[in-house]
Structure 1
Amino acid sequence: MTTIAAGDERLARTSALTRLTKRPEIGALLAAIVIFVFFAVTTDAFATLSGSATWLRSASTIGIMAVAVALLMIGGEFDLSAGAMTGFTGLVVGILTTEYGLNIWVAILVSLALALAVGFVNGLLVMRTGLPSFIVTLGTFFVLQGIDLAGTKALIGQVAIQGMRDVPFYDSAKAVFGSSAEIGRGTFYVSILWWVAVAAVATWVLLRTRIGNWIFAVGGAQVSARQVGVPVAKTKIGLFMTTAGCGWLVGMLLLFTTSTVQSNTGVGQEFIYIICAVVGGCLMTGGYGSAIGAAFGALIYGMANQGIVYAGWDNNWLRAFLGVMLLAAVLLNEWVRKRAEATR
Structure 2
Amino acid sequence: MTVATKTSETPPAQQPDTPALWHRLIVRPELGALLGALLVFVFFSVITDGFLTPGGVSNWLDDSSTLGIMAVAVAMLMIGGEFDLSAGVMTASTGVVTALLAVHAGWNLWLALLVSLLFALAVGAFNGWMVMRTGLPSFIVTLGTFLALQGLNLGVTRLVTNGVQVSGVRGAAGYESAGSVFASTMRIGGATIQASVLWWIVVTALAALILARTRFGNWIFAVGGALPSARAVGVPAVRTKILLFMGTAFAGWIVGSCNVLRLGSVQASQGIGLELHYIIAAVVGGCLLTGGFGSAIGAAIGALIFGMASKGIVFAGWNSDWFMLFLGTLLLAAVLVNNGFQKRAERIRR
Q: Please give the range of the TM-score, normalised by the shorter of the 2 chains.
A: over 0.9
SS at match of 2:107: coil
- Residue aligning to 1:202: 207
- Which amino acid in the other structure matches residue 32 of structure 2? G
- Which amino acid in the other structure matches residue 323 of structure 1? G
* Counterpart mapping for 1:298-337 below 5 A: 298-337=303-342
- Residue aligning to 1:126: 131
- Residue aligning to 1:291: 296
Q: Compute the displacement of 1:14 (Å).
A: 4.0
Establish whether residue 55 from structure 1 lines up as the match of residue 60 from structure 2: yes
- Residue aligning to 1:116: 121
How far, CA to CA, are the matches of 1:318 and 1:196 in structure 2? Answer: 25
SS at match of 1:270: helix
- Residue aligning to 1:44: 49
- Deviations 1:259-289 (CA, angstroms, capped at 9, x unpaired): 1110111100000000000000000000000
SS at match of 1:188: strand
How far, CA to CA, are the matches of 2:188 and 2:72 in structure 1? Answer: 27
- Candidates 231, 235, 242, aligned match of 2:236: 231
- Residue aligning to 1:218: 223
- Residue aligning to 1:164: 169
How far, CA to CA, are the matches of 1:118 and 1:343 in structure 2? Answer: 40
SS at match of 2:327: helix
Q: Compute the displacement of 1:163 (Å).
A: 1.1
How far, CA to CA, are the matches of 1:159 and 1:304 in structure 2? Answer: 31
Structure 2: gaps (5+ residues): 1-16
How far, CA to CA, are the matches of 2:229 and 2:165 in structure 1? Answer: 48
* Counterpart mapping for 1:56-135 below 5 A: 56-135=61-140
How far, CA to CA, are the matches of 1:304 and 1:89 in structure 2? Answer: 28
How far, CA to CA, are the matches of 1:160 and 1:64 in structure 2? Answer: 24
- Residue aligning to 2:245: 240
Q: Compute the displacement of 1:153 (Å).
A: 0.3
C-alpha RMSD of the superposition: 1.1
Task: Give the TM-score normalised by the residue count of structure 2.
Answer: 0.94
CA contact (8 A) 2:23 2:348 kept: no
Establish whether residue 343 from structure 1 lines up as the match of residue 342 from structure 2: no
- Which amino acid in the other structure matches residue 85 of structure 2? L
SS at match of 2:310: helix
Q: Compute the displacement of 1:158 (Å).
A: 1.2
- Which amino acid in the other structure matches residue 186 of structure 1? A
Task: Give the TM-score normalised by the residue count of structure 1.
Answer: 0.95
CA contact (8 A) 2:98 2:112 kept: yes
- Deviations 1:182-226 (CA, angstroms, capped at 9, x unpaired): 334422101111101100000000010000000000000000000
How far, CA to CA, are the matches of 1:81 and 1:316 in structure 2? Answer: 25
How far, CA to CA, are the matches of 2:265 and 2:44 in structure 1? Answer: 32
- Candidates 246, 263, 276, aligned match of 1:271: 276
- Residue aligning to 2:6: none
- Residue aligning to 1:32: 37
Q: For the pair shown, which has the larger CA radius of gyration, 1 or 2?
A: 2
Establish whether residue 152 from structure 1 lines up as the match of residue 153 from structure 2: no
Greater shift, 61-70 or 150-159, is seen at: 150-159
Q: Compute the displacement of 1:13 (Å).
A: 8.4
- Deviations 1:76-99 (CA, angstroms, capped at 9, x unpaired): 000000000000000101011111
Greater shift, 61-70 or 152-161, is seen at: 152-161
How far, CA to CA, are the matches of 2:295 and 2:187 in structure 1? Answer: 32
- Residue aligning to 1:6: none
How far, CA to CA, are the matches of 2:137 and 2:145 in structure 1? Answer: 13
SS at match of 1:79: coil
SS at match of 2:289: coil
- Count of aligned positions: 333
CA contact (8 A) 2:179 2:262 kept: yes
How far, CA to CA, are the matches of 1:256 and 1:17 in structure 2? Answer: 45
How far, CA to CA, are the matches of 2:348 and 2:122 in structure 1? Answer: 43
- Which amino acid in the other structure matches residue 105 of structure 1? W
SS at match of 2:267: coil
How far, CA to CA, are the matches of 1:275 and 1:24 in structure 2? Answer: 14
Structure 1: gaps (5+ residues): 1-11
Establish whether residue 180 from structure 1 lines up as the match of residue 185 from structure 2: yes
The alignment-based identity, stated in percent, is 58
How far, CA to CA, are the matches of 1:36 and 1:18 in structure 2? Answer: 26
SS at match of 2:166: coil
